[in-house]
Amino acid sequence: MKQTTMLEIQALKGQEKITMLTAYDYPTAMVLDQAGIDIILVGDSLGNVILGQPHTLGVTLEHMIHHTKAVSQGVKKSFVVADMPFGTYQASTEQAVQNATDLIAKGGAHAVKLEGGKPILSTVERLVSIGIPVMGHVGLTPQSVHQLGGYKTQGKSEKKAKQIFEDACALEKAGAFAIVLECIPEELAQKITDTLHIPTIGIGSGAKTDGQVLVFHDLVGFTPSHIPSFVHPVAHIFEDLTNHVKTFIARTKEMSS
């Protein structure tokens, strides 16, 4: 099976919707890959989803390399993007180069994703200049949760919408190959999508983007936590698994010695 390339992902813009889901482990990656997902994101949402943390801020580069490696082992075709966690790309461009290189070389990712706009443009330019594909991420950027005051829709005011729009345009100019638009109004997502030449991949930002991304565990209901209102779960795996474990317990307890 042929590995999907960055250029093939970009060529989907205007042709067909791009699909992206998160995975943090080998079997989930195999399921997504074999189902035909375009992009697998090893998101730093692994902090919340897998490590049970309240946010993504405690996720380390070592966590990301460990999980990206597992995901890469299960993938034959999908394009694998790994999140650069909080604190691994802000201190200096050289710090970002070292850490992005590790995610590619040790983790096996094909690209990295960074959150933010203007403050990270020179870092994006540098990573792209040394051959590392970069996915941008604007709107609700969970690594800035303390500054944003919670997980809420961004870009509702004219001023904030203008800033997000400008950040998206600047990321394209800096060389990002695609960009995640998280929790922004649909009209703003459409304006960005219509303006940019690179694909936009939305989450909680309406249907007008070039693609959609979700956290896999939200999609299949494999979480005890609140599922965002824009997700329409296709299964209730947490409840189902609980019932399967109960069946095992009951069968075992009933066994005669």
Report the interface residues with ligand KIV, using CB under 6 A: 22, 41, 43-45, 83, 180, 182, 203, 213, 215
Is 172 an annotated catalytic residue?
Answer: no
Question: C-beta of 244: minimal distance to ligand KIV in Å?
Answer: 26
Question: C-beta of 252: minimal distance to ligand KIV in Å?
Answer: 36
Catalytic residue among 182, 186, 187, 254: 182
And the tokens for 91?
């201190």
206: left (phi over 0), alpha (psi -120 to 50) or beta: left
Q: Which residue, 196 or 219, is less far from ligand KIV as judged by CB?
A: 219
Position closest to ligand KIV via CB: 43
Question: C-beta of 139: minimal distance to ligand KIV in Å?
Answer: 10
116: left (phi over 0), alpha (psi -120 to 50) or beta: left
How far apart, in whole angstroms, are the C-alpha atoms of residue 168 and residue 135? 11
Q: Which residue, 4 or 56, is less far from ligand KIV as judged by CB?
A: 56
Q: Which residue, 59 or 254, is less far from ligand KIV as judged by CB?
A: 59
Question: C-beta of 60: minimal distance to ligand KIV in Å?
Answer: 14
Q: Which long-range contacts (CB under 8 A, 24 or more apart) does 198-207 make?
A: 198/10, 198/13, 198/172, 199/9, 199/10, 199/12, 199/13, 199/18, 200/168, 201/18, 201/20, 201/39, 201/135, 203/230, 204/140, 204/153, 204/228, 204/230, 205/139, 205/181
Q: Which residue, 18 or 215, is less far from ligand KIV as judged by CB?
A: 215
Catalytic residue set: 182
